Chain A
Amino acid sequence: MSPDLLALFTTLKMATLTTIILLLIGTPLAWYLAKMQSRFKVIIEAIVALPLVLPPTVLGFYLLIAFSPQHLPGQLWQQATGQQLAFSFSAIVIGSVLYSMPFVVQPLQKAFEQLGEPLLEASAMLSANAMDRFFNIVLPITKASFITAASLGFAHTVGEFGVILMIGGNIPGETRVLSIALFDHVEAFDYAKAHVLAISLLAGSMVLLASIYLLNSPRKKTLKRASK
């Protein structure tokens, strides 16, 4: 496999895994934030939103320290898995989960807030329990926000550079993702290869975003309904 193709594969693997983890963690977190009335809510919201404003290298720097075998998180990981956390594939997945968190949590939180209580109360009065309400009322009604959240989380993870450079380094097949490979080509003055990667990333992101907007476009829904 060519090094760039391997980087593409690593990138997709990282982004997919990150998106799945983010949906699993982000959904309950967003639900909790949407329903929360405590004043500590703003603090949690600020922590979730931090990666939006923080230079990725700052996050990467602290994660690098945390993941090192000299510190507790790194030590615990090593005890549990027998492998070093820093400069591993797992490290870049954890880093991306934190880094892309706001892109998943924020649209979901907004959707849950907008949904409010009325339909949940109505379904509770029809004997639907909490799980039933989530899967049969909340999920289908906020589907568009889930698509947006997943796509933004995925796309943002694909485009990640700073955090990965700090905690993952540049290990082919492990932590060498597309953005790092592109940087390598530029550093080696291999502009032809850099162009190929850059244009692929650009086109790929463009296609992904356009498909989200197409999928969530209200015009399509009304047309579909009118034609029924």
Chain B
Amino acid sequence: MKSSSLERALPLTIDIQLSFEGVSFEKFNLTIKQDLSLRGITGIYGHSGSGKSTLLRAIAGLEKGMDGSIIFDNTSLIDSKTKCFVKAEHRNIGLVFQDSRLFPHLNVLNNLKFAASRCQNRRLDFNEIIRLTELDSLLHKHVDELSGGQKQRVALARAILAEPKLLLLDEPLSALDRQAKAGLLKLILIIQKELQLPMLYVSHSIDELQQVCDKLLVLSQGKMVGYDGIHRMIHQLNYTQNNHAKIDDFIHQQTSLSLPIKTLNNGHGLAILRLNKIDEIYLPALEENSIEETLRCFILASDISISLTEPVNSSIVNHLLAKITTINTVDKKVLITAHCAMEDGDQEFFVSISAFSQQKLALREMQNVYLQFKASAVRTYLY
């Protein structure tokens, strides 16, 4: 079932304007003009009322009454000038809703068959998808008997069995507990990899998006404020939060990383990631991964501290030599950006300290310092 050819990027051109109702029924205008090249998982991030779900519904064909056009894979889906509107059922786009929306009069198997039987050219093996989504034991259950996580797994399998060209995910984890969230996220990653299916993933949780997305589009109050690779976009958000206190895209300032795993467990309960030829990053031991696999992780800016000398006599295991590039002060809080040299360019680290500490250490730009953080400060949402 694995697609033999390399995954093709599907072009999606969005140029739309529409008004939508926010959470408290106030009217917003969503105005977006952007070319997206969909490959892997593209995240859409924004707080509630930013228009991210409305954008997804517009792409799906569930929003009407908009100006502009959406062109997907060289086919016009909407064009207000030519009054073209391709109905949702003819777009070959799948959507996993926040609330599963399983059909209550059908059991799990028949929910899945509903999708498969309406698929025009079936290529996927029905049983293989059931195996992949681990639904074997649930097939004859009624949908009322499923837990939230199970329901979303069925919803995901059902969407895949319709064999869409693009899968939209609208806050698929928001109704789940943490364990179920991690499980479903892993499944989404596996499915993406196995089926090479481009996905657009909407969420208000940067942690979720950080784990699965390759690119991130950020919306605020109906407008796009950024679109870039996931790590760079998160790093950009570190600043926007400081500079524009008005924008309530609150995220925890953080360093977002993808690094290869060198050791899963060093015998002392720690795993090791390779940062560059010399530097390594320690974190709590990993069990489900394999060596040389890339791990997505993040370190909160508030979890990193700065030392002027190498802290060799400290219990803190991670200390990296880095050069301060920018110092940003807002309200007695200082956000420092420091770079560690890597083979393929530098890795940025974000450190948040008090203005008091900055003065005490007399930190300035271009200064070399040691960044230190505990192994437990290196977090991953999934493991």
Q: Name A's B-contacting residues (CB within 8 A).
A: 118-119, 121-129, 132, 136-137, 140-141, 225, 228
Contact = CB atoms under 8 A, between A and B. Distances in A.
Interface string B293-322: 000000000000000000000000000000
A124 B118 contact: no
B118 A122 contact: no
Contacts of A137: 103
A136 B99 contact: no
A123 B103 contact: yes
B92 A141 contact: no
A125 B142 contact: no
Contacts of A126: 89, 94, 114-115, 118, 158-159, 162
Interface in B98-131: 99, 101-105, 114-115, 118-120
A124 B95 CA distance: 10
A119 to B, nearest CB: 6
A152 to B, nearest CB: 22
A228 B144 CA distance: 13
Nearest to A137: B103
Given A129-B89, A225-B142, A122 B62 contact: no
A223 B172 CA distance: 32
Contact of A125 (B94, B102, B105, B144): B94
A125 B92 contact: no
A122 B89 contact: no
A129 B105 CA distance: 18
Contacts of B105: 140-141
B162 A122 contact: no
B320 to A, nearest CB: 47
Given A121-B62, A121-B88, A122-B97, A127 B162 contact: yes
Chain B, interface SS category: loop
B93 interface: yes
Cβ-closest 6 pairs across A and B: A122-B101, A124-B88, A125-B95, A127-B118, A140-B105, A126-B115
Given A125-B95, A126-B94, A127-B119, 18 more contacts: A119-B101, A121-B97, A122-B97, A122-B102, A124-B87, A124-B88, A124-B89, A125-B93, A125-B94, A126-B158, A126-B159, A126-B162, A127-B89, A127-B120, A128-B89, A136-B114, A141-B104, A225-B144
A124 to B, nearest CB: 4
A124 B92 CA distance: 10
A127 B95 contact: no
A94 B201 CA distance: 55
B234 interface: no
23 contacts: A118-B99, A119-B101, A119-B103, A121-B95, A121-B97, A123-B103, A124-B61, A124-B87, A124-B88, A124-B89, A125-B93, A125-B95, A126-B94, A126-B114, A126-B115, A126-B159, A126-B162, A127-B119, A128-B89, A128-B118, A129-B87, A132-B118, A225-B142
A121 B119 contact: no
Interface of B: 60-62, 87-90, 92-95, 97, 99, 101-105, 114-115, 118-120, 140, 142, 144, 158-159, 162
A119 B95 CA distance: 12
B162 A125 contact: yes
Nearest to B144: A225
A150 to B, nearest CB: 19
Given A118-B97, A140-B105, A125 B60 contact: yes
A137 B60 CA distance: 20
Given A125-B60, A127-B92, A118 B162 contact: no
A124 B93 CA distance: 10
A199 B158 CA distance: 54
Contacts of A129: 87, 89
A123 B114 contact: yes
A143 to B, nearest CB: 8
A125 B159 contact: yes
B50 to A, nearest CB: 21
Contacts of B61: 124
Contacts of A136: 114
Contacts of B87: 124, 129
Contacts of B144: 225
A189 to B, nearest CB: 55
Nearest to B105: A140
Nearest to A121: B62
Contacts of A225: 142, 144
Nearest to A124: B88
A80 to B, nearest CB: 39
Contacts of B114: 123, 126, 128, 136
A121 B142 CA distance: 21
A127 B88 CA distance: 7
Nearest to B158: A126
B89 A121 contact: no
A225 B115 CA distance: 24
B92 to A, nearest CB: 7
A228 B104 CA distance: 16
A135 to B, nearest CB: 12
